[in-house]
Amino acid sequence: MHYTEYTKEEAASRLAEAEKKHESQIALGLSLDLSRGKPAPEQLDLSQPMLSLAEWQDDAGVDCRNYGMPFGLAEMRRFWASVTGIPAERIIVGGNSSLQMMYETLTRAMLFGVAGSKEPWCKIEKRKFLCPAPGYDRHFRVTETLGFELVTVPMTQDGPDMDAVEELVKDPTVRGMWCVPKYSNPTGVTYSDETVTRIAAMETAAPDFTVMWDNAYAVHDFVEDGDHLLDVFSVAEKYGHEDRFFYFSSTSKITFPGAGVAMMSMSERNLAKVKPLICAETIGPDKLNQLRHLAFLPNKEALTAQMKRHAEYIRPKFDTLLAILERELSDAGYAQWTRPSGGYFVSMEVPDGCAKRVWDLCREAGLTLTDAGASFPYGRDPKDSNLRLAPTFCSLADMTPAAEILTTSVKIAALERLLA
Amino acid sequence: MHYTEYTKEEAASRLAEAEKKHESQIALGLSLDLSRGKPAPEQLDLSQPMLSLAEWQDDAGVDCRNYGMPFGLAEMRRFWASVTGIPAERIIVGGNSSLQMMYETLTRAMLFGVAGSKEPWCKIEKRKFLCPAPGYDRHFRVTETLGFELVTVPMTQDGPDMDAVEELVKDPTVRGMWCVPKYSNPTGVTYSDETVTRIAAMETAAPDFTVMWDNAYAVHDFVEDGDHLLDVFSVAEKYGHEDRFFYFSSTSKITFPGAGVAMMSMSERNLAKVKPLICAETIGPDKLNQLRHLAFLPNKEALTAQMKRHAEYIRPKFDTLLAILERELSDAGYAQWTRPSGGYFVSMEVPDGCAKRVWDLCREAGLTLTDAGASFPYGRDPKDSNLRLAPTFCSLADMTPAAEILTTSVKIAALERLLA
């Protein structure tokens, strides 16, 4: 029976039961955390051998300790080509932060425009950016910082609601859109072929409409047959819209979040604009860290094996969390949640107006969740119903008490609201 | 006798002699390079042990492989405090490129202004930046890229010509100035106490006049008693102008040019503006590289010892070059040059209109110099008289033939011009 069909007495009795359980959870004095999309220490240990690889010359004998090679080592560009399917000469390898490459890309657009721009974006008084939500808070913050109005687009099972997007891009002040096309943060959704095609094909009022294509979870499957994502540049070329896409990825969740190797790619026309700017901006990325990565992950097989080892740690945590959500919340329909095949998050929908209350209840019992609303532009979830769950950093042993605190809290919030 | 006092016959005879020597130099088919301010491989070998230091936790036990700490490790900030004399809490540690931190600083000024700005700099139609010249080409290129008009200020033995600077800053469109205050690139000049004081004290028409204080050679003495530079923030505070200065340095020429650790510092008011922006821009710098540096250079003594080892390689190269310049060019006054106590460059003044010709003659004989004019805004030396010599990357064995090609070429160019 769905919980909303409970009699008042039954609801009150179940609420009392949940509150009692909550009290006992508080009494345990736990300190648990499902808030951060961070790999666990045991995942980081997988890459520990990389740290002792004191390589300093590339295949061509270049001394990588010295200045030079502003777009990264040829081998590292080929590594990324093998991961992304993009030609190596269209890949620029950066430092340790793909977020920084995204910020820099938008900063360049602000000051110099992109291919097709009539003027630098800073000249556009009212500029807007589409934010599929729930989405990644740090993306939204970048465009907010740069003075864009953030326009929420609902996420569906197939990616952003393309009917809404196609309508919104008729506004010429809408300059672009954020996308995490595979195992999207936080829903875990991979964009369908139709969604990718519609994003590539659509006509936009802004001649320089820009899609920030953050393929952060390109190889981050934790099931045998992971999701498949269309090659966006191939599709875009069919429609003559290859200038629209700036593609990003990194090894942050392959090796080390704080010391990985980030990359970006873009059309030939955008490369011609961006490369000279990069040469003015920096003496080049840390090539020694690239060599370390190449020695540790010399080919696609090594990468696949590494991602399998990650999956062995990650999957049981997702399985445990999802099993407890299923057992506790499914029958009575207290909440809905996603069941991704990869990535770092589960997205949960609790009854409207309950997300903040669930967050507070969890906190009381020692469980930290990502701030309610964090996955929405300006940190405001209009329905106050979404919670982002990040199972990877928590130990497997802690997952059961964490999930039980969470499910108890969801029940309390939902029943309180029902009885209010 | 000064060469300009030669009789025509004597000049012609000396020219013929130099040309003959030049021919014999060409015949050797050498390939030598004094063009790049890069450490030599043997200097890079000094830091090779650092690459095998697989540290991953800081003093407080923080896992530095993961995300976090956008302003750098506390220990690394203390390291830079000990080098610069600036309080650690006023230091922000970045990635491997101080040039990139400078670019980002000016980009933030363009989009958000600095403390004291009435508007972001991108709103200022005509904006100018002072470029003491000869100076560092990559500095000039940053401000040229960002749309500043580059205004040349002559360099003196004491730093920029402060009479000229004090006059120029009466123009409110002059927003700032580049400075390499110690062992300036390429003159090797260290700013005198008076120069530092005048830069800190002067009144400027722009309320947000910004000095880019690139102390790249802070500890790069190659004589026992290196130059002393005033602590610019202390002086600036006396005049209430601490917001004026953005301070930069890096370990690029202490450990590895391509994989060092850069830093910046600024006033409290600027920190309050910049820190939230950095938090939006990036997931933080590579902390593992910071740990490697800290393990390799745990204290000031280790740093001093490292710089002495560098000096042991660098000094003989400067000595050899300067001795040959002295022997070949001094008596007849063919040229003047600087005799620095540290840094990476010698700056040479050949007769007006001769620098490009010297460059070409050197090239014919297999010696590459930095492009004539490169040390001036827009790459244009108005007198065509300056050449930047970078002795570090060349081996000591190659220095003698390189210096002989150079001095022969200088004689030819000077005598050709005299006879023209």
pLDDT in tens, A177-233: 999 999 999 999 999 999 999 999 999 999 999 999 999 999 999 998 999 999 999
Confidence of residue A31 (pLDDT cuts 50, 70, 90): very high
| Cα–Cα nearest to A22, from A417, A324, A411, A420 | A411
Q: Beta strands of A85-148 (E only): which ranges?
A: 91-93, 128-133
List the single residue in B63, B258, B286 with the smallest CB-CB distance to A284. Answer: B258
A52 touches B: beta carbon within 8 Å: yes
Residues 6 or more apart whose CB falls under 8 angstroms from that of B326 comprise: none
Q: B201: which 2 tokens? A: 């004290």
Give A237-292 as a DSSP string: HHTT-GGGEEEEEESTTTS-TTS--EEEE--HHHHHHHHHHHHHH-S---HHHHHH
Smallest Cα distance from A369 to chain B, Å: 17
List the single residue in B142, B257, B258 with the smallest CB-CB distance to A280. Answer: B142
Sign of the alpha-carbon dihedral angle for A332, A335, A336, A342? negative
**Mean pLDDT of all residues belonging to chain A:** 97
CA distance B201 to B208: 14
Which of B56-62's residues contact partners 24+ apart within 8 Å by CB, and which partners? B56/A44, B56/A48, B56/A51, B56/B288, B56/B291, B57/B291, B58/B287, B58/B291
A125 touches B: beta carbon within 8 Å: no
Q: Nearest residue on chain A to B44, judged by CA atoms? A: A65
Kindly state the percentage of chain B with pLDDT values over 90.
Answer: 98
Q: Nearest residue on chain A to B292, judged by CA atoms? A: A51
- pLDDT reported for residue B54: 87
| Cα–Cα nearest to A198, from A244, A230, A172, A162 | A162
Q: Nearest residue on chain A to B103, judged by CA atoms? A: A281
Smallest Cα distance from A136 to chain B, Å: 13
Q: Nearest residue on chain A to B393, judged by CA atoms? A: A66
* CB proximity under 8 Å: B 143-182 to A: 144-147
CA distance A41 to B396: 48
A1 touches B: beta carbon within 8 Å: no
Smallest Cα distance from A238 to chain B, Å: 33
- Taking the CA atoms of chain B, what radius of gyration do you get in angstroms? 23
- Cβ contact B113:B120 at 8 Å: yes
* CB proximity under 8 Å: B 298-337 to A: none
Per-residue pLDDT averaged across A262-278, rounded?
A: 98
A-B contacts (CB, under 8 Å):
157
Q: Residue A368 burial (CB < 10 Å; 0-12/13-18/19+)?
A: middle
Sort out which chain A residues have CB atoms less than 8 A from B286's CB and list them. Answer: 95-96, 258-259, 286, 289
Sort out which chain A residues have CB atoms less than 8 A from B120's CB and list them. Answer: 122
DSSP 8-state code for residue B93: E
For B341-360, write each residue's pLDDT tens digit. Answer: 999 999 999 999 999 999 99
B56 touches A: beta carbon within 8 Å: yes
DSSP-based three-state secondary structure for B147: coil
Helical axes B98-112 vs B268-281, angle rounded to 10°: 100
Give B255-287 as a DSSP string: S-TTS--EEEE--HHHHHHHHHHHHHH-S---H
Task: Give alpha helix (H) positions in A118-188.
Answer: 137-145, 162-168
HSE-up of residue B149 (Cα within 13 Å, Cβ side): 10
CA distance B106 to B114: 9
List the single residue in A38, A56, A66 with the smallest CB-CB distance to B257. Answer: A66
Under an 8 A CB cutoff, do B68 and A122 touch?
no
Q: Nearest residue on chain B to A41, judged by CA atoms? A: B63
| Cα–Cα nearest to A338, from A326, A327, A355 | A326
Sort out which chain A residues have CB atoms less than 8 A from B287's CB and list them. Answer: 258-259
Residues 6 or more apart whose CB falls under 8 angstroms from that of A31 comprise: A366
A379: left (phi over 0), alpha (psi -120 to 50) or beta: left
Sort out which chain A residues have CB atoms less than 8 A from B122's CB and list them. Answer: 110-111, 120, 122
CA distance A178 to A183: 14
Q: How far is CA B196 from CA B50, B191, B265, B401, in A?
A: 36, 6, 17, 39
- Taking the CA atoms of chain A, what radius of gyration do you get in angstroms? 23
List the single residue in B51, B68, B100 with the smallest CB-CB distance to A282. Answer: B100
B52 touches A: beta carbon within 8 Å: yes
Q: Are β-strands A346-349 and A386-389 bridged in parallel, bridged antiparallel, or unpaired? A: antiparallel
CA distance B18 to A419: 102
Q: A207: which 2 tokens? A: 């001649």
Distance of CA B272 to the CA centre of its chain: 28
Under an 8 A CB cutoff, do A51 and B48 touch?
no
Smallest Cα distance from A356 to chain B, Å: 24
Q: What is the pLDDT along chain B (420 residues), one digit of tens a residue?
A: 999 999 999 999 999 999 999 999 999 999 999 999 999 999 999 999 999 888 899 999 999 999 999 999 999 999 999 999 999 999 999 999 999 999 999 999 999 999 999 999 999 989 999 999 999 999 999 999 999 999 999 999 999 999 999 999 999 999 999 999 999 999 999 999 999 999 999 999 999 999 999 999 999 999 989 999 999 999 999 999 999 999 999 999 999 999 999 999 999 999 999 999 999 999 999 999 999 999 999 999 999 999 999 999 999 999 999 999 999 999 999 999 999 999 999 999 999 999 999 999 999 999 999 999 999 999 999 999 999 999 999 999 999 999 999 999 999 999 999 999
Interface probe with A: pick from B46, B100, B124, B129, most Cβ of A within 10 Å: B100
Sort out which chain A residues have CB atoms less than 8 A from B284's CB and list them. Answer: 97, 258
Which of A59-63's residues contact partners 24+ apart within 8 Å by CB, and which partners? A63/B41, A63/B44
